[in-house]
Structures are given as C-alpha cells and as structure tokens.
Amino acid sequence: MPSAEIITIGTEILLGEIVDTNTRHLALNLRNLGVDLYRTITIGDNVERIASAIRESMGRAEIVVTTGGLGPTVDDPTREAVAKAVGVELEFREDLWEQVVETISRYGRKPAENQRRQATVPRNAIGVKNPVGTAPAFIVEFDFPGPSGEALRGGPGAIISLPGVPNEMEHILHESIIPYLQKRFDLRQVIKVRILHCSGLGEGTIDEKISDLETLANPTVGLAAHTGVVDVRIAAKANSESEANELIAGIEKQVRERLGQAVFGVDEERLEEIAQQAVAQRGWTLVAVESGLDGLLARKLPNTASIPDLDPVALMDAVRRARIDSKADVALGVSVFPGQRSATMVLITPRGEKTHNIVYGGPPRSGGCRRGRGYARGGGGGFRGRAGHAGAAQPRHHGPHRDRFSRLRDQLLDRAVVPDLDVDRGFRGVDHRDHLAALDRVAGLDFPLEQLALVHVGAERGELELHHANSPFAAATIFSGCGSAASSMCLA
C-alpha cells in the first residue's frame, strides 16, 4: 500500500493570513483510498525550500501532493520547484495554454502575458485540465526507490501539483487525480474511521480503561481531547468497506462495554444534539439560561436566555423562573466565573432539581467587547452574546472574513451612506426596507453586496449585523445606540 506526503505552498499560510483547508480535504480522500499519509508540511513561496522538501518527500513516499503556487505571478514558484526537484527544465505547453485562453475567454477577457506562465510545466509532465480555474495542474512521475534500508520496496511514484484555490483543487482531485491514483497504484484497499464521542470522563481515565486497545495494529485506536469531550478514534484498513466495518464493530463493542454511558455519540453527532434528542424522546421541552458564556450555549440550544452576572443562587432563581414562564418540562442553567475558574450548573426536570459545581483549568476568558465610534471591536476574537432575551445571541465578526467585515463596517460608518444608520440617532421609526435600499446604493465595498446574506436588527440596541453568505460565523456589528424591533431579512 503506497504512502503519501502533502506539501502546502504559500507564505500567506505561514503568516496566518489564510487557513489551510486543502490538507484536511486531501487527507480524508487519501484515507478513503487506503493510502497511508505520514507527513504534511507547509512551505513559503521559496523555490529552493520547496524543491528541497519535494526531494525529501520523494525519498519517503510514493505519492507527493503539492497545493498552491500555480498562479501567473512571479511569486508562484511550484512549477520551477518541482522541475528543480526532479532535475528537468520547464517547457511551455501549447495544449495547456489553449485551456488557459479558453477559461479566461469565458469571462469575456483576454489573457495577460504573465498568464502564459500557467502553461509552463516540468518537461514530460502530465498536464491536468482545470475546468473551474485558469491554473492547470500537472503530474510528474518518478521511480520510487523506497526508504533507505527497504530496498525491496521500490515502485512507481508521482508528484501531483494542484492549485491552492480550494474549489479548484477539490474539483481536479475528484475528477482527475483520484482515478489516476487508483490506476497507477492499483488501489484496492479502503480505510474506514469511526469516532466515538465521550463526555464525563477525562482523557487519562479513558486511556487507563482502553490502553491495551491503543496498541492494536489494525484497527488502530487513538484518543483526541476537546473541550468537554474526548474522542476515541477507531481506524481500520481492509479490502472492502464491509470488511473494514466488521473490524471496527468488534473494537467499538469493547470500547462501549468499558466506557459505558460516557459514550454519547458517534461521528458527526454532537453533544447538544444528543441532549435535545433525549429530551424530545421523553416528550419534554427544554429552556436554558446562561451567564458568562458570551452566547456560547445560546448558539447551541434554542430557547436560551443570556443574563449577565448570575451567582449560583441567582442562577437557580433564573432557571426556575424561565421554566415557569416558558412552561417547559426541563430547564438548564450554566454560569461561568472566569476570575475564579469555576462554573455552576443547574438542571431542573420533572424528577427534581440538581446543582453541580466544578473548577476548571486553563487561562481565564480573554477579551471583551470594546466599543468605540459606536460599534463593537474584536476584543479577544471570541463571540459576544446579547443579554436579556432568549435566543438573542449572535456571532460577532469572526472567522476567515473577519478583516473584510471590519473594513466594511468602517466604510459604512465613515461614509455615513445610510443617514438613518447614524450611531447617535439609530433606527427608531425607520422602515427596514429603507436600510436595504440604502445599503444597495453603497459603492466601492470590498466584496459584492449579494454576498451579504443577513441583516439583523437587535432588540436592545438597534444593532445591525451583516452576515457573509458563505461564512455564518462572519459578521460585522454596528451599534446604533437605540432600541428597535428585532427582524431578519435576506439580501441574497
């Protein structure tokens, strides 16, 4: 079974400007093909360092996948680096150039001279068409010598260079690269993974209970700790999916027998979903109260009220009141005290009341919501909730589009493009359709207005939120300083 290494290329990744999602997508698909992935690495836009990394990977793995660095500019070095790594010259390929011209012409444009660079590949490389972008991919085949000391393990090898743009990379991977790998390396095995989610037991305790299983060769068993949850990963390699599932099932049974009710879900299931299902199965309804969580619980459970500064006694009173007011069967309350690194949890069901106090480790909660010029800034990069009404918590500007939304927010405020958006006067008495019309007249923004998916006007301060259509956790918030009825409406 071949092994693989992934090399992601781009100085912007090393500078933290973008998040590398390509490695995860490639890893999942290589796993499904039964390919062992042993290393991933990120290299900046430097020809010598990239070439050196490729040469090292060629000595360890049959499959070397690179992503990024295939654009038309001088700082797109992957073609030159691959050629240097295998000791060949670059060559211009007329067939690839025709693909570039065809793609660009679909947008009513003519290719610039520097885009000829995208039709240049290492000599004798296999060109791979990119139907969704202008940068063709390519494959350079080599004879894999096998790692030193394993002389019998020689065979075919391949360097596969893909664009860094995720949708382009993914399309080419599924349409062209996976069929190529299956044929060249005669891939017949599959790797299946099952994730068991556990809560209520620490990673160390779980390790003590299943440590012997963690030494198995196939399936393999591993642990991964997250906030409040520990995952038990069972991975099996077999000649068919059904055979892999059988291998996993035997180990999963042993894990469940040893961990008992600590196992609450599998794979994509989440704790909040399982909890809500358990409530619904009993025919109950649920209401919740949070304090000191900045809207975290409200984003996971509906019918959650965010109330600041609740001590344990006040939390119990608030939970009882919420249960009565909403006529719910079950009421949950959580209050976190970052300064003391402690938390209180309250649960009221038809069977009675329970209170649980815990002390937690880790750093105290950072950040906070600094307000200046009438809007919220990013203190700490977390989320901020709205206190005082159920389900009101909304994400602040956060995620890969955060900087762009910050600029948009500044533009809206600085240009005063919406008179009724004035931070002193706010929204009082204004039809929200007027805001949509005014926003539609904004010129020179950093991205098209059709990408703004949601406008939310908050009930407490008349807050305007703009959500990016492709990133539900990216939002710019403008504080107008006065009350208004809450509403939501689509722009796209």
29/153 same-domain check? yes
Question: Of 390, 327, 335, 387, which Cα lies nearest the Cα of 360?
Answer: 335
170/209 same-domain check? no
Confidence (pLDDT) at 375: 27
Domain containing 334: what range? 283-359
Task: Domain count for the chain, please give it.
Answer: 4
40/150 same-domain check? yes
| CATH of residue 196 | 3.30.70.2860
159/206 same-domain check? no
What are the backbone angles phi and psi of residue 476, rounded to the nearest 5°? -105, 135
Q: Tell me which of 184, 208, 243 is where a domain ends.
A: 184
Confidence (pTM)? 0.57
pLDDT tens per residue across span 127-165: 999 988 888 999 999 988 765 544 344 578 999 999 999
212/258 same-domain check? yes
Residue 278 lies in a domain: no
Burial class (CB in 10 A: 0-12, 13-18, 19+), 218: exposed
102/178 same-domain check? yes
Residue 415 lies in a domain: yes
Q: Is the pLDDT of residue 176 over 50?
A: yes
207/164 same-domain check? no
Residue 107 — pLDDT band, cuts 50, 70, 90? confident
261/381 same-domain check? no
Confidence (pLDDT) at 154: 53
Averaged pLDDT of the chain: 75
Poorest-pLDDT segment among 9-18, 108-117, 123-132, 436-445: 436-445
Confidence (pLDDT) at 121: 95
Q: Tell me which of 149, 184, 219 is where a domain ends.
A: 184
407/349 same-domain check? no
417/470 same-domain check? yes
Poorest-pLDDT segment among 155-164, 246-255, 473-482: 473-482
Question: Of 181, 151, 208, 138, which Cα lies nearest the Cα of 34?
Answer: 181
pLDDT tens per residue across span 29-64: 998 898 999 999 999 999 999 999 999 999 999 999
Question: Do 78 and 69 form a contact (C-beta atoms < 8 A)?
Answer: yes
Q: Rounded CA gap, 350 and 377, in Å?
A: 43
341/381 same-domain check? no
**Residues 443-475 as b or e (16 or more Cβ within 10 Å = b):** eebeeebebbbbbbbbbebbbbbbbbeebebbb
Residue 162 lies in a domain: yes
| CATH of residue 124 | 3.40.980.10
Residue 275 lies in a domain: no
Residue 21 lies in a domain: yes
79/119 same-domain check? yes
Residue 276 lies in a domain: no
Residue 364 lies in a domain: no
Q: Tell me which of 324, 359, 394 is where a domain ends.
A: 359
Residue 277 lies in a domain: no
Q: Which residue has the tokens 């995720």?
A: 166
